Chains A and B, each alone.
Chain A
Amino acid sequence: MTILQKVKNFVRSRSIHVAYVDVGSCNGCDIEVLACLSPRYDIEQYGIFVHNNPREADILLVIGAYTPGWEEKLRGLWEKIPPPKAAIAIGNCPISGCLFARPHTLVDPPVAKHIPIAAQVPGCPPRPTEILSAILSVAPTIFADYEVKTK
């Protein structure tokens, strides 16, 4: 491994930019993601920055059970994110649809049908600590030695 790659790995491990997108949830997971910002969980001490701007994001947190309004839009949002990138499904909704996946529903879970999902955090809603640990455990596997892996 070159020195440049080592520097890149070190810098990337301390600067993970996060965007979140709600594709039709009940809001419960959104506020748990927001709670990660609070001084108690202090997401920025791990070098994670929540911008909610897809163009400078590394990790996309997908919340919700994919409503028809997001067709084409979610794919476009995912393509706006520059590589290396990863999507994490937060909550039961993007994994299985939770209790919205019933007869007569409008949602179309799972989100993994529409964009590639790297990790899933089950829970209705998951605790902020679980969201934090998911981001922290996914980040090194995606970002470390990215140039070597894609060569």
Chain B
Amino acid sequence: MKRTVDVSFPVGPVHPCWKEPARVKCETRGEYVVSAEVELGYMKKGIERIMKGRPWQEVMFLAERVCGICSVIHNMVFIEALEHISGIDVPRRAALLRVIVNELDRMQSHLLANFSYCYTIEHETLAMYLLDVREKVMDQLERITGARVTCAYIVPGGVRFDLRPEDAQALRLSLSAIGEEVMRYTDMFANGPLIALRSRGIGILTKEAAREAYAVGPTARASGLGDIDRRLRHPTYQSLGFSPIVRTEGDNYARIMVRFQEIAQSIGLIQKCLDELPAGPIRGGGIPGAGEIAYSMEAPRGELTYFVRTDAAGRVLEISIQTPSIMNIEACCHYMLTGVSSLADVTSTFVSSDPCIACTER
């Protein structure tokens, strides 16, 4: 069939709405987007090539810098993969502290994603509110781990620092304040008539399309796929009674609302961890040894898999990382952007899938 295309419209690589460079090429008829392609390659650093042949003590810090937004989960997946290879046990206190830090990281990542979306649809007030809440979350992250972004908190056999009682108290107080604010902003987003005009029914990813495109994370959960959440298979999360949040609309609105609801869920999980936190050691013994494993866990953007092969000295012989954003970017370009009726919605739809170019290209 012959296709009529008016304009080939490139967006990016430097664009006011985007945090990172990526180029989306849209073929449009009028303002109706017929098809879209993404062009990557501005951020390829070759982290996996650097990692090969290095001891795990160095790879741990490199793994964290695959993605600066979700650095804790990269650290956690790499270290837990090493622990599975070598059979290192983690004390219960350390396992719960890992969940606390991971969920704080998820909260700040989701708040940043929702900030970007609100900024893109030019609801700057809500965007600034969300960025302000994010600073409170970052404070708690810094209080526990000692750093804002790249904290290297998780080490084989446990975590680096203990949670002092006064820090736990401050965390509880701060969480209840954050929870109230997030609830207020969720209401603002859910009931805002102008937000609904820019969000509802735009960039629809149906359940079948999400399955075909292997969408992961909040993007897939907003399209009705709940069972893809890897936290369901993590023993610590299982013991906390975790169940994923699923919505069925599959549009921009649903993707942002899933993130808002997950922030509230993360607050609940952290409070549960603080209630259950037993006294005891935060580090077990054990030295990483030889073996290979493919280990997955749920990053803020979806399923993150590390394939690691190590030798007896703990050197990483082979490593390959599968990050969530690549699937979501493909789902976004081939399913969500097709049929978007206005060019202004191209950027907001792309941002709503929360693309992280740094970890896509590594």
Contact = CB atoms under 8 A, between A and B. Distances in A.
Interface of A: 19, 21-32, 34-35, 37-40, 51-54, 64-65, 67-70, 73, 77, 98-100, 102-107, 124-125, 127
Interface in B97-122: 112, 115
Interface of B: 13-17, 19-21, 41-47, 49-50, 52, 58, 61-62, 64-69, 71, 112, 115, 128, 131-132, 134-135, 138, 148-150, 356, 358-359
Nearest to B127: A37
Contact of B135 (A27, A28, A35): A35
Nearest to B70: A27
Contact of B19 (A22, A26, A104): A22
Contact of A31 (B47, B49, B69): B69
Given A38-B135, A39-B128, A24 B148 contact: no
Contact of A32 (B62, B65, B71, B148): B148
A69 B52 CA distance: 23
A104 B46 contact: yes
A29 B150 CA distance: 10
Contacts of B16: 51-53
A107 to B, nearest CB: 5
B44 A67 contact: yes
Given A34-B19, A35-B134, A106-B49, 10 more contacts: A25-B358, A26-B67, A27-B69, A27-B356, A34-B131, A52-B15, A53-B16, A68-B44, A100-B65, A104-B50
A37 B131 contact: yes
Contacts of A22: 19-21, 42-43, 358
B68 A28 contact: yes
Given A35-B134, A35-B135, A38-B128, A26 B50 contact: no
Of A27, A38, A68, A105, most buried by chain B (CB within 10 Å of CB) is A27
A110 to B, nearest CB: 15
A38 B65 contact: no
A48 to B, nearest CB: 15
A104 B42 CA distance: 18
A113 B58 CA distance: 28
A75 B148 CA distance: 32
Contacts of A26: 64-68, 71, 150, 358
A27 B355 CA distance: 12
B43 A69 contact: yes
A53 B16 CA distance: 6
A97 to B, nearest CB: 9
A92 B141 CA distance: 22
13 contacts: A24-B45, A26-B65, A26-B66, A26-B67, A27-B67, A28-B71, A34-B112, A38-B135, A64-B43, A67-B45, A69-B21, A69-B43, A100-B45
A39 B44 CA distance: 33
A32 to B, nearest CB: 7
Nearest to B40: A69
Counting from the closest, the 7 A-B pairs by CB-CB distance are A28-B68, A27-B68, A38-B131, A106-B46, A27-B358, A26-B65, A69-B42
A73 B112 CA distance: 28
A99 B65 contact: yes
Nearest to A25: B358
Contacts of A98: 65
B300 to A, nearest CB: 12
A125 B45 contact: no
Contacts of B149: 28, 31-32, 125
A78 B67 CA distance: 26
A151 B50 CA distance: 49
Contacts of B42: 22-24, 67, 69-70, 73
B17 to A, nearest CB: 8
A10 to B, nearest CB: 27
Of B16, B46, B115, most buried by chain A (CB within 10 Å of CB) is B46
